[in-house]
A and B are shown apart, each in its own frame.
Chain A
């Protein structure tokens, strides 16, 4: 495509080979930390904790997986992470889609300034709301409960903003046709808008889910027992209680991040679209 843009080497064949080689090289370098995480996870205790670390396991120890799960309740932590990330994602996606439809399609007094308030909070970093949210949850006795974990992170403005932008791009005619057939607003929303907006809704859901799976700070302050502890926080506990038992620590890290990597590969069409939408559509 743009080979002409940068003819670094005059000979096209050599140039092409160099480019492919460079791609393989940077990709290999990039993957080293992830590969090492998995390799060390399967090393023996002695090998992983030796003064001179080894890279390729001299013997494989798949039992490290069950040992890691026995040392800390990793299974419980992972399930909690699914609840936390899934709960916030579901709530945010559903409520944001409904509100976005009102902002994109319906007339009501105060629409402009209300949307303005949503937009204004987009710029505010989450650390500003961290203290008040914590105080609120504490006063409502929500520390270490699911409502306390989920609710404060399920109503951000970004979802409403993204979906409204997408809904605005859907031609009004589709909806008007349904309305002529006697559909009310709710039916038009469910039967026309939502099916057309599946890519945008999926993109929002994937990003929200991955973002919350990654969230460390909020579970760190709200969760204080295994009842709601997520995997990110659990890994930190693991480190504190087990020091540098590298094979088990990195096995736990592998188990925590692999579901996300799988999700990423399954949804990468939406993932990449989401990044480019935010990068190029957001100007």
Chain B
């Protein structure tokens, strides 16, 4: 730890040793006691309401339990039920469809807008705030406007398509277009987050790198490919990871806009967990589904961290 002399000189005794260099502290020493007092309010709540429930989820997934009668032991039966359950597979497929279309689209829109805003505009903060607005709205509230926008025949979206001679689909009530409609709304709702992260990343790239690239006679595309992308890759990685995790948990807009329909065309994993646990009162099965959702998130995130080593450029 470096001792800076920004204020008056501090005697050497005032420099506390770094935590790791301290000899093994004792339970009874004053500092540990103080530490536990600081920790206590958070720790009690955390153990009861966050850490405890994580462990309990594992236990409940092994039970047959409808909350009204005493639970009975089910072993791994709840997990075995997933295999032949068509709604589960449909929900998994829908969630994957949603995630692997909406995340790349969101990233592209965020990146394009960040690049646009980074072109040396004077009122950049105003545009940034306005473009961030959808991100700061209530999902449920704006979901209703999007239902209105998607009204078949004469809704605003189809009216605009009609100007170009395109006969728009029935969107939210169409088998094939309900999911794309949800994806479009979700891209609109969430692109602001990535845009702000990318914009900060772009502004942190040293200008000398572009000047050096220009001296070497590179084309705009080459300087984007060889300077911007590598320098932005940590931000890109972060946004991709968090967007995929978020998309796997999509619920609000699907519940409001399509309620999972038509049929089960837009039933997502979280919606199925909600139905299983709180409409069918099958808590054990719902807990098992939630653990499978968690396993998918871990798997995808781990895969991304595996590829990160080769694709993400870190300065240090």
Contacts and interface: CB of A to CB of B under 8 A. Distances in A.
Interface of A: 1-8, 19-20, 22-23, 26-27, 30-34, 36-37, 40, 51-53, 55, 91, 94-96, 98-99, 101-103, 106-109, 111, 114, 117-118, 121, 123-136, 138, 151-157, 160, 171-174, 176-177, 179-180, 185-186, 189, 210, 213-214, 216-217, 220-221, 231-232, 235-236, 239, 246, 249-250, 253-254, 256-257, 260-261, 264-265, 268, 271-272, 275-276, 278-280, 282-283
Given A1-B120, A280-B200, A261 B144 contact: no
A53 B223 CA distance: 48
Given A23-B121, A216-B140, A265-B129, A128 B293 contact: yes
A231 B142 contact: no
A268 B294 CA distance: 32
Given A8-B220, A34-B145, A135-B60, 18 more contacts: A27-B127, A33-B134, A40-B145, A53-B156, A102-B35, A102-B39, A108-B25, A129-B53, A129-B54, A131-B57, A132-B52, A132-B54, A133-B49, A155-B48, A173-B3, A250-B144, A276-B196, A280-B238
A173 to B, nearest CB: 6
The binding surface of chain B is classed by DSSP as helix
A109 B136 CA distance: 42
Nearest to B32: A108
Interface stretch (B98-106, B164-172, B248-256): B248-256
B14 A176 contact: yes
A217 B274 contact: yes
A157 B200 contact: no
A222 B274 CA distance: 12
A180 B10 contact: yes
Interface string B198-215: 001111110100110010
A272 B196 contact: yes
Contacts of A91: 45
Given A53-B148, A53-B154, A102-B35, A129 B50 contact: yes
A6 B34 contact: no
Given A2-B120, A53-B154, A160 B42 contact: yes
Contact of B117 (A23, A33, A114): A23
Q: Chain B, interface size: which category? A: 35 or more
Interface of B: 1, 3-4, 6-8, 10-11, 14-16, 19, 22, 24-27, 31-32, 34-36, 38-39, 41-43, 45-46, 48-54, 56-57, 60, 67, 113, 115-121, 127-134, 136-142, 144-146, 148-149, 151, 153-156, 188, 193, 196-197, 200-205, 207, 210-211, 214, 220, 223-224, 227-228, 234-235, 237-239, 245, 248-249, 251-252, 255-256, 270, 273-274, 277-278, 283, 286-287, 290-291, 293-294, 297-298, 301, 314
A109 B33 CA distance: 10
Contacts, number: 345
A173 B129 contact: no
B84 to A, nearest CB: 22
A134 B36 CA distance: 29
A236 to B, nearest CB: 7
15 contacts: A1-B203, A3-B119, A31-B130, A37-B141, A98-B42, A106-B34, A125-B248, A127-B249, A131-B273, A136-B49, A152-B53, A185-B31, A220-B278, A264-B136, A276-B200
Contacts of B144: 37, 235, 239, 249-250, 253
Contacts of A257: 137-138, 141-142
Given A51-B154, A131-B277, A171-B4, A232 B140 contact: yes
